[in-house]
Each structure stands twice: as C-alpha cells, then as structure tokens.
Amino acid sequence: MTPVTFEGCFGWLHPAAGRRGVVLCSPHGNEELCVHRSWAALADRLAAAGMPALRFDYPGTGDSAGSDEEPERVRAWLDGIHAAIRFLRAATGVEEVALLGLRLGGTLAAMAAAERGGVARLVLMAPCASGKAYAHEMKAMARLAGAPQPVGGVEFAGFRLTAGTLAGMRALDLAALPAMPAPRILLLARTDVRDGAKLAGRLRALGAAVEEEPFAELAALMNSVHRALLPAAPLDRVAAWLSADAPEGATAWTPPDVSAPPGRLELPGAVETPARFGSGLFGILCEPVLRGGPGRPAVLLLNSGATHHVGSGRMSVMLARRLAARGYASLRMDAAGLGDSAPCPGRRDNLIYRGDGPDDARAALDWLEGQGYPRVVAVGLCAGATLALHTALADPRVAAQALVNPGRFLLSAEGFTSEAVIQDAARRTRDYLPKVADPRVWRAVLRSDPKVQRIARTLLARTLDALRDRFGSGAASGGAAQWFRRLGERGVSTLLLYSTGDVTLGELESRLGRGGRRLRGVAGVRLETLEDADHSLMLRAAQERFAARLEEHLATLSAANQAEEPAGRPARIGAPGG
C-alpha cells in the first residue's frame, strides 16, 4: 500500500491491476479509530482480488487537512468522496468504480453515489438510516459519558459535531435518496435494529438490485480500538461480491515505486510527509515552514494505547500542527502491529507494553536523525508514556519526555492486550485497605473463587507496598524511581502528568510511593495533575490543557538549551516533583 494525498485529503492506495476499483468510505470519529486496522485489511483483500482500493480520511478528519470545527463539514465529506473517485480513476486507470461504506460512511457513500451517478456497485455495511439518527446516537453516548457539551453541538470521545454540522446532517437521509445510487447493492444490515428491510425496499424502489445479509460481526468490530479485528469471512464475502462481473483484463497502469518519496500534504504553516522506517514502521513527519532556532528538538508522538498515530480524539494530529505553528517538528508514529505499521512477526495485532517496543521508537529516532533532528522529546499517553520512558532510558538522543497517565511502568516480553492491562490495573492502597478486614473477602478466598483470589493477591501486594512505603525504603518496587534518577543525572527533563483520580494512580503509588513520594528531589522531574481530564484525554478541553503544558515544557527545554552549559553537556532542567 502507498500513502497518497489529493485535494487536501490523506489516503492509502492499495494497488492492483484490475479494471474495477473501490473507494472505501470509513465511519466517523471514534468508530473510525476502532476499525482502522481492519479497514486496511479489507482494502488488502480487495487488492488481492484484483481491484485497486483507496481508503482515505475525510476533510477535517484523520491525517487530512482541516478540523471538525470548520463550516460545511457534511458537504466537505461528500466532496471528499467525489475527490477520492477522481483520484482513483486518474491514478489507476480503472474503468469502473465501486463504493464501500461502513456506518456513517455507508450513508455518505450512498448519498455521494446518488449525486454523481456512474457507480458500478455499492456495499453498505450497517449504514446509518440518516445523519439525524447518527447524531442522536452520538448525543446519547455523550450523555452516558457525562462529558460537558459544546453549545449547540455534541462532543464524544474527542470528536465534535458543531451546530452547523448537525444541521448539515439533517440532509442525509437514505429514505429520501433522490436517485438510484448504484445498479447493484449489497446491504449488510445490523442485527439489532429493524430498518434494514425498509432501506432495502427504498433502494429497490429506485431500481437497484439489492442483496441483503446480516452483519453479525458489527458489535465486535466496534467494541474498542484494542479488540477491533474483523473476522476473515466478511472480508472475503465483500471482496468476492465486489469483484463479481468486473471487466476482464488489466489496466496499463504500473504501480508506483513505494521506495520513492511519498506525496506531501501542504498545510497552513506546515508540511506533512509520510515516512517509512525500521521494519515496516510508519509515521507522519509534520515540519513547520519556518523552523525554530538551531538545535530545537523534534517531538516524537507515540501511540495512545492501540490507537493509530492520529491519537485519541485525533489529539496527535492537532498537537503536531499546533507545535508546527510554534516552530517544532514532530513525528507521529505507529509501533509494530498498530495502525499502519507492519505486524509483529508471530504476534497478534494491537498488543501494547511490548518489551521490544523501544526498538520501534529507536528506529524512529534513527530516521529523525537522518532528517536533521538528532535530539527528540518523547511524548506518550497511557502505554505510549511507558514506551517513551523506556526509550529515553535506552537512547541518549531523548532530551526530554512528557508522560501522561502511564498504565504500567514495566514492559512485558510478549506485550499485553488492553483487557489484560485493565484486569491487572493497580488501584490505590487507600482503595484496597478497607477490604482487607472484610471477612467476606477471605471466605470467598477459602471457597477458591478465582476472581476473588486474584483480588486477594492484589490486596496483599498493595498492603505490603504500603508498609514498605511507610516504614522502609521500598526497594522491592523502587526500580522506577531509579530510572527517573538516572534520567535526571543525564539531564533528561520529565513532565509526568496524571488526570485527577485516574485509575493509573494506583500504579504510580505501587512503583513510586503515595503521591509519587520517591520522586521528591529527583532532578528534572515535574509531577503534576491535569484537572478535569479523562484517562485518554478525549475531552477537547483536556487536550487543550495538555497541549499548553507540553508547550511550557518545550519552552523550558529551549531556554535551558540556550543557557551557558559546558560544551557537549545536556542542560539539566525542571524542578523536583512531589
């Protein structure tokens, strides 16, 4: 697959020589984050079936230009589909184009196809009956999450639908399609709602030949970023249906040389360039048009859990472009098995806290050094924070780091699924200690209840940690403190941020003492609280507060770098935390 850009959109072309091509219209927001890797696997299946496939980010989403707060978003998304069709035809020489859309992407695909005509086939995977129905779903999810809402709009999981976008969505209605979107349509309908038959009837009334099948895998696919792996059967079914009766023969188009420099995306004040490095790793370099002062470090943005390089709620994209406006280059990357990087040999996708993860990050450091950035600030959230820490420990090119809500301080040789991390998450001692005296806990232990036994083991470990913290040196869990001390002695500046009341505070207490007491007096460490923030910083306001803290951290680093220091010795910066 080859990264491409067209009309402000970023996408991936999965090459093949067939005469029918496919444009994939992704779902919106957090749903797109969930399916991102499965979406790439589907595009690969289409290409293997002989059809060049193009998946792309709508304007203002993913790696494309713009933001979700700009006006006319719905019109921009539809125009993005039209632009993708034009690009696919021009780039590959296909005679026919089919569209494939999932959830809101299915709704948009049908509307765009009805607008333009000439679409050979259309696959609708659990399409939303209307934009209004989708907006109601997002409002309900936001209400359940209890997140503060923008005036007139809705925000869920870091993605925002403004009042103007909501107004535009009211025009998306599959029951009111003005024309037949395609002569042949495959409808993979949700099994938990009953609007599939109604939609199929409407499409048939417009003259389309419609095939209906249940889409039982939808719930698993949309479960979470970490667990979203679409089984092979639906992929094969869609590929076979789309390739049926395709024009015979091959186009004269020759697939591009993937070793050639990929296309760049021009942005106001910045340029973004897709990058390949290491063993099949991928990232996007965002460089300011006007660079900052000499020696200014680049920022390495690591995966937030298993979310691909755009970050939770697209935070990494917005952060990269904000930093570019202040003269900082950044690389947002995918570790192996995540996002658009190649899988880890012999391992399943979406593993986090992998022991060899620092090797991926160091491959990014090698690449950045080759681009003229020998010093780097590593930034990570959740599992990305742990990866940043261990990369800093392993590589002197990391001059500073910003760590947000690290779920663990230790890596594992084989890595973890998110479920395993959540199951083993350490809670704060004050949450556990009242349960130690509860006789019901110990009766359940004696009954050999596996779940309660696991809780009891955690209770015992947390209690022992509390005693060591209060009466001893805490040597058994003092490794993390030593790591930060070593980094401080090397001159590495650390900003360690925790959301108020975050679940990861238990890990902080377990490894670094209550309130991070073992970090007191450690050079270069600032331990701070991020108020009114969720764990993954999906709230837009929390993202803004973190961006401001990171900018302050970078400014301190720049100021220290300009201070009088012996030649070749890194500046030691930051105030002791605690």
**Residues 335, 281 contacting (CB under 8 angstroms):** yes
Same domain, 384 and 317: yes
Residues 456, 525 within the same domain: no
Same domain? 78 vs 183 = yes
503 and 556 together in one domain: yes
On whether both 220 and 292 belong to a single domain, the answer is no
Q: What is the mean pLDDT of the chain?
A: 85
Q: How far apart are CA 26 and CA 222, in angstroms?
A: 13
Count of domains for the chain: 3
200-204: average pLDDT? 94
**Enclosing domain of residue 273:** 265-423+474-562
Q: Over 60: is that where the pLDDT of 74 sits?
A: yes
pLDDT at residue 423, rounded to an integer: 55
> 250 lies in a domain?
no
At residue 464, the pLDDT reads: 54
Q: For residue 377, give Cα distances in angstroms to 148, 273, 301, 573.
A: 32, 19, 9, 13
Assess whether 388 and 449 both reside in one domain.
no
Same structural domain, 33 and 94: yes
Cα distance between residue 492 and residue 70, in whole Å: 39
**Cα–Cα dist 381/300, whole Å:** 12
Asked if 303 and 335 touch (Cβ cutoff 8 Å), the reply is: yes
Task: Tell me, yes or no, whether 127 and 54 share the same domain.
Answer: yes
Report the percentage of the chain scoring pLDDT > 90: 67
Q: What's the DSSP call for residue 65?
A: S
Asked if residue 572 is part of any domain, the answer here is no
Strand partners, 300: 331, 378
pLDDT value, residue 236: 86
CB 163 within 8 A of CB 153: yes
- For residue 369, give the CATH number of its domain: 3.40.50.1820
Picking from 441, 472, 503, the residue at the C-terminal end of a domain is 472
Residues 6+ apart with CB under 8 A from 42: 24, 53, 100, 230, 235, 238, 239
* 519-555: pLDDT as tens digits: 999 999 999 999 999 999 998 999 999 999 999 999 9
229 and 350 in one domain? no
Indicate whether 271 and 130 sit together in one domain.
no
Residue where one domain finishes, among candidates 184, 211, 242? 242
Looking at the fold, whether 530 and 388 belong to one and the same domain comes out as: yes
Q: What pLDDT shows up at residue 452?
A: 53
- Residue 252 resides in a domain: no
* Domain presence at residue 479: yes
> What integer pLDDT is reported at residue 463 of this predicted model?
54
- Check if the beta carbon of residue 300 is closer than 8 Å to that of residue 333: yes
Lowest-confidence region among 22-26, 230-234, 286-290: 230-234
Whether residue 287 is found in the same domain as residue 415: yes
The pLDDT tens digits of the residues spanning 136-157 come to 999 998 888 887 888 899 999 8
Residue 571 in domain: no
**Residues 213-266 pLDDT 10s:** 888 777 767 665 555 566 677 788 999 999 999 998 887 666 555 444 557 899
439: in domain:
yes
Instruction: Return the residue matching tokens 């959540």.
Output: 422
- Residue 359 pLDDT > 80, yes or no? yes
Tokens 């930051």 belong to 574
What confidence category does residue 205 fall into, taking pLDDT thresholds of 50, 70 and 90?
very high
Within a domain: residue 535? yes
Q: What is the mean pLDDT of residues 165-170?
A: 94
- Which residues, listed in sequence order, are joined to residue 494 by a DSSP beta bridge? 401, 525
Domain annotation covers residue 249: no
Contact by Cβ (8 Å): 172, 77: no
- Mark out the alpha helices in 49-125 (DSSP H runs): 73-92, 104-116
- Residue with more model confidence, 197 or 131: 131
